[in-house]
């Protein structure tokens, strides 16, 4: 087996070790230790840069600096696949493929190290914690890791895309992801004497219907807008009207102004319904990751490099899932791309099983992308 085959096998083995020992967001202590050890085996120095978990390594020297990012955390999901490297952590699984992303960018780092003398600047490798909780990107930014970086690139495997396919788009790609909780405080009482109560269940039912008009009647239908109420909690038994009902849900948009408009409209609806029913309704709104908006120049550039590397290029729709990489693109230029992993089950599924064959070609792609990006800036 040649050097290429050995590295490909090594990356696959590393992915399987990461898969067997997954760690949740912010708890990636052993993952970080493994990465540091593996990088050192190839004479790549790394540092925490002040992060509690996660790792950063620079390859090359001087300006400009191009960054490659991989996410390293797992999900609180119990794996339902019986294989030699099934998760050993009960209720924790790499069900989103961050183990694939990590091994891919490890491979890119090793390939770049072998050509370090040729680099027209520096490639900064970022192994980011806590993507699933949308905190990790902000931790990286707050640590100053991107302060002197000219552009950043990252990717996500996509089970719905066949192996060997590549997709990205200029401009908006992944969505703003916001979360809301609505608490209705009414007056409880006997279910047989509802006139003596201010029934929060009735209020909740009206609120659910009214909230659906935001996307259908308040927002231009040509704009992306999804409002979903996904949880309802209230009551303890069949013959008592409760004091309180809680609703939770999510809003997905792409345009910043639509994101703001939806929150304003939701609060206005809540205020009107609360007044009409003489109840108190509290809204807790939590902004999640911002929409991921690719820099057109770098999206086009990344697609061209992929085509040159032999990927089949496909058109990609807007995604309504979230990705904290968008926080980076609010600060500096760059591009996020999709690479097909051909899994029969999708992301966050307990039987998700991506094709490992994507790892080495993707590592070669990102090494080439970084080299060419440096050359285009220098």
Binding-site positions for Mn(2+) read: 96, 98, 132, 156, 348
- Strand runs (DSSP E) across the chain, as ranges? 55-60, 65-71, 122-128, 151-158, 165-167, 171-174, 176-185, 189-190, 225-234, 240-241, 244-253, 280-287, 292-294, 312-313, 334-340
Give CA–CA dist 378/62, Å, rounded. Answer: 11
* Pairing mode, strands 292-294 and 171-174: antiparallel
* Residues 6 or more apart whose Cβ sits within 8 Å of residue 257: none
Rounded CA-CA distance 253/47 in Å is 36
Where is the binding site, in residues?
A: 96, 98, 132, 156, 348
Report whether 87 contacts 22 (CB < 8 A): yes
Coil, strand or helix at 336: strand
How far apart are the C-alpha atoms of 170 and 172, rounded to whole Å? 7
């Amino acid at each position: 087996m040649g050097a290429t085959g050995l590295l490909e096998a090594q990356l696959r083995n590393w992915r399987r070790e990461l898969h067997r020992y997954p760690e949740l967001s912010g708890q990636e202590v052993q993952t970080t230790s493994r990465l540091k050890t593996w990088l050192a085996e190839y004479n790549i120095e790394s540092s925490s840069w002040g992060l509690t978990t996660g790792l950063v390594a620079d390859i090359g020297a001087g300006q400009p600096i191009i960054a490659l990012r991989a996410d390293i955390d797992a999900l609180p999901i119990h794996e339902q696949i019986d294989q030699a490297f099934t998760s050993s952590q009960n209720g924790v699984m790499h069900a989103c493929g961050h183990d694939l992303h990590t091994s891919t960018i490890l491979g890119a780092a090793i390939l770049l190290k072998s050509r370090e003398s040729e680099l027209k600047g520096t490639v900064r490798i970022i192994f980011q914690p806590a993507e699933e909780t949308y905190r990790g990107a902000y931790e990286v930014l707050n640590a100053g890791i991107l302060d002197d970086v000219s552009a950043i690139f990252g990717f996500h495997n996509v089970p719905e895309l066949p192996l060997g396919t590549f997709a990205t788009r200029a401009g908006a790609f992944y969505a703003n992801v916001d979360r809301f909780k609505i608490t209705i405080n009414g007056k409880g009482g006997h279910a047989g004497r509802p006139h003596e109560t201010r029934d929060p269940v009735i209020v909740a039912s009206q609120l659910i219907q009214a909230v659906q008009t935001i996307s259908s009647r308040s927002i231009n239908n040509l704009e992306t807008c999804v409002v979903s109420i996904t949880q309802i909690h209230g009551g303890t038994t069949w013959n008592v009207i409760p004091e309180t009902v809680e609703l939770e849900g999510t809003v997905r948009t792409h345009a910043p102004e639509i994101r703001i408009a939806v929150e304003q409209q939701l609060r206005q609806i809540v205020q009107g319904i609360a007044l009409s029913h003489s109840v108190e309704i509290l809204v807790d709104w939590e902004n999640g990751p911002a929409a991921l908006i690719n820099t057109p120049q770098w999206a086009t550039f990344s697609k061209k490099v992929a085509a040159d590397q032999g990927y089949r290029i496909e058109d990609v729709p807007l995604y309504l899932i979230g990705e904290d990489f968008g926080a980076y693109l609010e600060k500096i230029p760059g591009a996020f791309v999709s690479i097909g992993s051909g899994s029969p089950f999708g992301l966050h599924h307990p039987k998700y099983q991506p094709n490992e064959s994507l790892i080495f070609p993707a590592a070669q792609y990102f090494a080439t992308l970084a080299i060419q990006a440096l050359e285009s800036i220098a």
